[in-house]
Amino acid sequence: MIYPETRRTDIVETHFGIDVADPYRWLEGDARTHPEVAEWARAQDALARSHLAGLPGRDHFRQRLAALSDHAQLTAPVKRGQRYFFTRNPGLQDQAVLVMRSGSDGPDRVLIDPNLWSKDGSSALAEWAVSIDGRHVAHAVQKEGSDWRTIRVLDVETGTILPDEICWARFTGIAWAHDGSGFLYCRFPEPPTGNAFDAPAIRHSVWFHTLGTSQDDDRLVHATPEGQVMIHAVSVTADGRYAVILSMPGVGSNTLAIIDLQDPGWTLRPVIETPDYSWSVAGNQGSRFFLATDNGAARGRIVQVDLDDPQLRALDLIGQRDDATLNDAVYLGGRLLVSYQIDARFEIRRHHPDGTPDGTIDLPGIGTAGGFRGHPDDSEVFYVFTGHNAPTTICRYDMGTRQQTIWARPDVDIDLDRIAVEQRFCRSADGTRVPMFVVRRADVQGPAPTILYGYGGFNISMVPYFSPAVLAWVEAGGTYVVANLRGGGEYGKAWHDAGRLANKQNVFDDFIAVAEYLKSEGIATADGLAVQGESNGGLLVAAVVNQRPDLFAAALAGVGVMDMLRFARFTNGQFWTSDFGDPNQEADFRNLLSYSPYHTICPGVRYPAILVSTADTDDRVVPAHSFKYTAALQNADLGDRPRILRVEMRAGHGTGKPVGQALDEIADLWAFAAQWTGLDMARQGSSCPESQ
């Protein structure tokens, strides 16, 4: 394969006595303002799409992905009086719409349709919140996948958009004051250059917007202290009395402050002042707050804090479990609902407000449950259930009678009884037990072409969820495996800590151990294992390919962090130092250099086929990471398998992507993986699995 020519420079910098070459630094330029970068990216993308379009399985996967995705997808509703607000996508519509239903089973009315906002479907409805009286919906507009938001307000009765416009919101929630006068939100300062794409994520702050006024008149509620880097999350308690602000220097720890909204001065009262542990608010009964934390309990516990107590003592309410990890807690219908992960599977337990047990909620199967919505004084509660072979279902649960019904469950174009899901475990290099989920057709028992997916970072758990993309691969005869690696949140704080900072190599060792296990146990074929990941998972894929290229036939590295020495210089990269470390500190620098994908490519070694994917407007993990990494791959002698770059246009890090665009991308990924793992696409002439 002949790759586009890439200019090399002689940039070499010395850090802590080590000379580091960076010949492709010019590719850090924004393609929208740097013509040379834009031309290079277009040439790379043209080569990739030409190659991918000619692969034998591409059309089959695109057709099946469309069929498997063509079902109604709803979110759990927000209840205001007898009105229920939720989003709905009938299946293949580019963007979900916001709907209001009169009564839980009454007629629907579309309130907001983002498909009308742009011709190519690249504008999406992001965060939204309904005022307590149900009169207004504040909603965030996301354009081209960017993390930046513009917040507008809809008058529900008239269907008109109010003149109110909030700009430069980012990493924000929307929390209404209970009198409907306005809402709290989070924003950054307007970028001084007007170039929002590469603006640093500093000086995050919490504001209050009063309806009918200009954003210039908004009230500053809380600002990041000078010299600190924080991201804030704001909410209002169900009784409307308090605002809660969580402030995070990174992932896995935060401070907590509370504002009594009845106090005209809105004085911020610190509750947790040092960000050493994770704290979240499950709810409150007046001044008594229920908090979930890993302070003194690596796998999580529930404590209570009374604001009337001058010492703000945290008193035990529900202790840590040895067999499970606390995932979430919420106070609804007069009970605390506490969700736990047990080897990445979910269990929901009920507790009285004094902490005493009150039974469990019977889940529809083995899978993931969450997204609880309701009110402390209303027995009607909704939640979402999903699994690898369980379509995303909205359940309605009565806290008083304990009766449960299905509020929405889609019909999908596949016989799910033919899909087998199995949880297995293997041992990592240091003996750590690592879980994985193996998804395949029930009739596939021997070695098969396999995609192995992983993430391993930022305290994020890889839990079971329904994926038409996974089913398209499995239906075709392949096996899909999701690994639960250290660095995630599956087993609590200690599991996260074991995969970050100086321990990051554990994540790669875990992934390599799973790959070796899949081959030794006859799950993956000898030269039929592809590896996949996005974002931190893209870093994971590229790092393990550099360390063990012999294990993999193909690699799918999406929107990855590839230059570990310069990630903190772009957009919100400085927040990742909590997991990666600080490149400006010698010990962290040396550790980062040891696995940085851009810097540890091994010339002269046969590499797997590699498909790198990114997006031109990704302002979270900027495309420069993928650009530089691809250039370095193509310049090295790594064998005859392709190393290509797919660049999505008018798209960001993943959220808000139009459905059609997303299906095109997955079809390309699966066709590439099929080609190099040996999945027999010649047998896929019919879309009906039973006829194969």
**589-644 residue pLDDT tens:** 999 999 999 999 999 999 999 999 999 888 889 999 999 999 999 999 999 999 99
Instruction: Quote the tokens at residue 47.
Output: 């080569």
Please report which confidence band the pLDDT of residue 690 belongs to, taking 50, 70 and 90 as the band edges: very low
For 269-281, the pLDDT digits (tens) are 999 999 999 999 9
Q: Render pLDDT for 310-336 as a digit per residue (tens, 0 to 9).
A: 999 999 999 999 999 999 999 999 999
Average pLDDT, the chain: 94
Q: What is the pLDDT of residue 667?
A: 98
What does the block give as tokens for 227? Answer: 């010299």
CA distance 209 to 466: 38
Mean pLDDT (whole number) for 512-539: 98
Residue 100 to residue 84: CA distance in whole angstroms: 6
Crossing angle for the helix pair 58-69 and 468-475, to the nearest 10 degrees: 130
Q: What is the pLDDT of residue 453?
A: 98
Tokens 């209840």 map to which residue? Answer: 79
Residue 148 β-bridge partners: 170
pLDDT for the residue numbered 197: 65
Residue 459, both tokens:
């305290």
- With a cut of 90, say whether residue 387 has pLDDT above it: yes
What integer pLDDT is reported at residue 195 of this predicted model? Answer: 64
How far is the C-alpha of 611 from the C-alpha of 615, rounded, in Å?
13
Q: Is the CB of residue 635 less than 8 Å from the CB of residue 580?
A: no
The alpha carbon dihedral of 155, 158, 163, 169 has a sign of: positive
Q: Which CATH class is domain 73-191+202-236?
A: mainly beta
Q: Is the pLDDT of residue 216 over 70?
A: yes
Q: What is the DSSP letter of 334?
A: T
Closest CA to 232 of 206, 259, 202: 206
Q: Do 404 and 416 meet the contact criterion of CB atoms below 8 Å apart? A: no
Whose structure tokens read 């996005």? 534
Asked whether 381 and 372 are in contact (CB, 8 A), the reply is yes
Among left, alpha and beta (phi > 0; psi -120 to 50; other), residue 419 is beta
Q: Give the pLDDT confidence score for residue 457 in this predicted structure.
A: 97
Spans of all domains in the chain: 43-66+418-677, 73-191+202-236, 328-409
pLDDT class of 686 with cuts at 50, 70, 90: very low
**Exposure on the CB side of residue 686, measured as CA atoms within 13 A:** 5
Which of 6-15, 44-53, 568-577 has the lowest average pLDDT?
568-577
Cβ contact 150:166 at 8 Å: yes
C-alpha span between 487 and 285 (Å, rounded): 35
Shortest CA distance to 23 belongs to which of 39, 7, 35? Answer: 7
pLDDT tens-digit series, residues 529-574: 999 999 999 999 999 999 999 999 999 999 999 999 999 999 889 9
Residues identified as active-site: 535, 653
What's the CATH fold of domain 43-66+418-677? Answer: Rossmann fold (3.40.50)
